[in-house]
Chains A and B, each alone.
Chain A
C-alpha cells in the first residue's frame, strides 16, 4: 500500500470505528430503562457488540497510524469525530431506537459481507468475525421493527413518526469519504453506491410489509465532518472521567 492508500484507509477505519462507538454508547443508555427486563439484557448485548467492533476498527487504525484507541475514543474534540449523524441522535422512544438500529444493522450487515472480500487481509478477517454478530443484530432489529410496525395502532404510529425523523439521516451512510475512490480501486473497500442499492432492495420491501412506507423527505446534505449539538452533549458525558486526567491509567 502506498501512502495515499494508507491515509485513505486510516480515515475509513476511523469512520467505521466512530459509528460503532457512538451507536454503542447510545444503545448502552437503555440499560436499566428498557421496556422489560429481557430487553435490558438484549440492548446491553448489542452495545457490547458495537463497542467491541469499535475496538477492532480502532485497533486496525492503530496498526496504520500508531494512535492509541482510547485517546481517539475519549479525547478528541467533537468536530474531529467521523461518525454519521444518524448514530449520534438521542435514543428517543423504543420505536426510534429499534428503527435506527434496523436501518444501521441492514447497512452494516451488507457492508461486512462485502468487506470479507477486501484485499486488505486484516480488514477481511475483522469483517468475517463481526459479520456473524451482525447477522444476529439484523435478526433482532428486524423482528422488532416487524412487530412494532404491525402491533397496535400506537406502536404503528410511533414507528411511522420514527421513520419520518430518521429518514433524512440515512443518506449520509452512503456518502463516500474523499479517499474512498483509492480504496475501491485497490479492492480494499466497496463502492457505497452499489451498497446503497442493495440496502434499498433489502429495506424497502421489508418496511413495506411492516406497513412502513418510505417517507418522501429529502436527505440532509451532510458529510461525516458535520455534527449536531447532540454530539456535544454526548461527548461531554462520555469524556468526563477520561479527560479529568488524560495521562492517568484508568
Chain B
C-alpha cells in the first residue's frame, strides 16, 4: 500500500488564492515556523530550493575528487585515516542534501543525470587541481572554513529538510576545518620545503575560496527573494567580508602571506579590505572552462557508467526476493 502523496504542483502566481496563501506563507516564516514537504509554498520558493540544494549536493560529491586523489598518498597512518574520514563525510553530506532536494519532489536519478549532462552547476572551487599534499590542508582550512560560514547561516533556513541537513553538516564540518588548520600550522613551522609548500597552497587557493561566496551582491539576482523567504539571511558580500576578517589574522599568526598585494587593514571599520576579485576567471570556471571541469565530470560519468550493472543487479535480486515472499517461496 502506497501512502505517499506527490507534492502538489501548486503555488503559481496565477492561482486565484495566490496572494492570500503567499501572505500566510510569509507570516509563517516571519514567526520562525519551518516549512515542511506537503505545506503550501510558492512555486518560486520550491524552484529556488531545488536549484540551491541540488547545487550544494553536487558540490559535495564532486568535491570528493580533488581530495580523494591524495588519499593514496597521505604520508602517515593518521593522516590517511583523517583524509578518508573527511572525504567520506563529503559523500555523506551530499547524501543528506540530495535527501533534502528529494523532499521537494525530484528524484536523485534526475539530479544526477543533469549533473553528468553538464546541465547542473556545482561550486567552482572544486574545478581547481590539487597539486601538493599541502593543498589538502589548505582546502580543509580555507575551503571548508568558507563552507562553514555559509552552512551556519543556512542552518536557520525556513525549509525544514534543508535546515536539518545543514545542522547535521555543521556538526561534522568543524573537524574538516580543524584538521586542515592543524596540518598547515605544522607545515608553516616545518622544513623549508614544507613552508614553501604551505605558502604555495595558499597562493593558489585564496582567490577560489573567496569566490565560493558567490558574485558580488550587485550581481546576485537570486539573493533578494532568497532573503525574503528566509532561505538566506546574509548577503554574499557580508559573509565574504566576515570570512576575510576572521581568517587573515589566522594566516598571519603562522607567518603565511595572503596573495593579495592590495589587501589592507582599515583602522576605522576594523575590516580587512580585499583587492579586486577576478570575476572573468570565476565565470569562465563556472561555465565549464576551469582547469579541471572536464576531468571532474569525466570521472563522475565513468563511475556512474561502470556502476550501472551493479545498481541493476541489486534491484534484480531484490525484485526476485519480493516475488518469492509474495508466493511464499523461501529465499
Binding site for B on A (CB under 8 A): 21, 25, 28-29, 31-38, 40-41, 44-45, 47-48, 51-52, 54-55, 58, 69-70, 73-74, 93-94, 146-148, 150-152, 154-155, 158, 234, 237-238, 240-242, 244-245, 247-250
Binding site for A on B (CB under 8 A): 61, 64-65, 68, 71-77, 79-81, 84-85, 87-88, 91-92, 94-95, 98, 133, 186, 190-191, 193-194, 299, 302-303, 306-314, 316-318, 320
Specify which chain B residues have a CB less than 8 angstroms from the CB of A35 in the assembled complex: 303, 306-308, 310-311
- Does B310 lie within 8 Å of A155, measured CB to CB? yes
Chain A facing B: main interface SS: helix
Please give the distance in Å from B201's CB to the nearest CB on chain A.
Answer: 13
- Among B85, B193, B299, point to the contact of A44 (Cβ < 8 A): B85
Specify which chain B residues have a CB less than 8 angstroms from the CB of A237 in the assembled complex: 72-73
Please give the distance in Å from B54's CB to the nearest CB on chain A.
Answer: 13
- Does A155 lie within 8 Å of B191, measured CB to CB? no
Chain B facing A: main interface SS: helix
- Does A41 lie within 8 Å of B88, measured CB to CB? yes
Q: How far is the CA of A129 from the CA of B75 in the complex (A)?
A: 26
Specify which chain A residues have a CB less than 8 angstroms from the CB of B68 in the assembled complex: 31-32
- Among A33, A234, A244, point to the contact of B302 (Cβ < 8 A): A33
Residue of B nearest to A29 (CB): B72
- Among B81, B88, B194, point to the contact of A51 (Cβ < 8 A): B81
- Does A70 lie within 8 Å of B76, measured CB to CB? yes
Specify which chain A residues have a CB less than 8 angstroms from the CB of B307 in the assembled complex: 34-36, 94
- Does B84 lie within 8 Å of A31, measured CB to CB? yes
- Does A44 lie within 8 Å of B87, measured CB to CB? yes
Given A48-B84, A69-B77, A73-B77, 18 new contacts (CB under 8 A): A25-B72, A28-B80, A31-B84, A32-B68, A32-B299, A33-B303, A36-B310, A37-B61, A44-B87, A51-B84, A55-B77, A148-B314, A154-B312, A155-B312, A155-B316, A244-B193, A249-B186, A250-B75
- Does B64 lie within 8 Å of A40, measured CB to CB? yes
- Does B79 lie within 8 Å of A250, measured CB to CB? yes
Q: How far is the CA of A250 from the CA of B320 in the complex (A)?
A: 51
Specify which chain A residues have a CB less than 8 angstroms from the CB of B73 in the assembled complex: 237-238, 240-241
- Does B87 lie within 8 Å of A32, measured CB to CB? yes
Please give the distance in Å from B123's CB to the nearest CB on chain A.
Answer: 16
Known A-B contacts A48-B81, A155-B310; A28 and B76 likewise in contact (beta carbons under 8 Å):
no
